[in-house]
Chains A and B, each alone.
Chain A
């Protein structure tokens, strides 16, 4: 069975995000002065084969921890759904 995993990787709150600061500053310059904070992260989509959702989930968790994110500086979250045929 095929599953679609959507993984989000974000910098930990304690880590300075200079890209976010630059984007925030640009938005402010454009007139969106109510924007108070921007954080730039990563979004990944994985299609994987697994017998059931739990197995797919366990594997995505492991891959996220080992490669897709760096636990020293980043957090991750993910969702899993059946992949369209």
Chain B
């Protein structure tokens, strides 16, 4: 399975994603620059975290119109797998490939630390090796991570099972205290209606090695690899 990591000016988690795929998952991966037209023969496109174009105007707003994005959009619309992490999630919402928007954290603080996520839907390519209600310990690092979606759309994505991950406490309960940014319904990650495009604010690519404090992020990448019919990957042990 071939991974591609898109690189915008200001991306800074591109290396983390590349490292995880190449050194931990042992799968082929390449960087795709923002000023090119093609994603090549990639099976999964990762839009990484960072501050593309300095987060000017709105996070992800300018990256969304960069030269590579028509190819990403076409790939997504033809069923290709696209995963947006943090700033990548913001880019995908700006592009209209995912519902909602990410706005300033409710408390205005940049939040950096470990959070717990509960898997809400394990029938997507990104989650199907997880079990529903699994609790994942994954780091966050963002200032504009408060997920917002208008009420009628919220009902729709909840009913469709488009909510993939919710912020919870270590016991798996959805509480205000466990919500690091004021996201509506504690939503940390969503997918599109057909399930092939997903985005989340936390960083699963930074939770793939024991030395980093958690390997819980691997389940997302293992899911997509298994989706491609490959069996288990070495977890770097």
- Which residues of A pack against B, CB within 8 Å? 11, 14-16, 18-19, 22, 42, 67-68, 70, 72-73
Contact = CB atoms under 8 A, between A and B. Distances in A.
Contacts of B103: 11, 15-16, 73
Interface of B: 57-58, 61-62, 65, 93-94, 100-101, 103-108, 146, 148-151, 182
B61 A72 contact: no
A73 to B, nearest CB: 5
Contacts of B146: 16
A71 B55 CA distance: 18
Given A70-B101, A72-B100, A73-B101, A16 B150 contact: no
B107 A67 contact: no
Given A11-B103, A16-B103, 13 more contacts: A14-B150, A15-B103, A16-B106, A16-B146, A18-B105, A18-B107, A19-B104, A70-B58, A70-B61, A70-B94, A72-B101, A72-B149, A73-B101
Closest 6 CB pairs between A and B? Answer: A72-B101, A73-B101, A18-B108, A18-B106, A18-B104, A70-B101
A19 B182 contact: no
Contacts of B101: 70, 72-73
> Is chain B's interface secondary structure helix, strand, loop, or mixed overall?
loop
A72 B97 CA distance: 13
Contacts of A15: 103, 148
Contacts of B105: 18
Contacts of A18: 104-108, 182
Contacts of A19: 104, 108
Q: Which of A14, A16, A19, A70 has the most CB of B within 10 A?
A: A70
A74 to B, nearest CB: 8
A39 B108 CA distance: 14
Contact of B148 (A42, A68, A73): A73
Contact of A72 (B65, B93, B104, B108): B93
A37 to B, nearest CB: 17
B57 A72 contact: no
A73 B146 CA distance: 12
Contacts of B151: 14
B57 A68 contact: yes
Contacts of A70: 58, 61, 94, 101
A42 B58 CA distance: 10
Given A15-B103, A72-B150, A22 B108 contact: yes
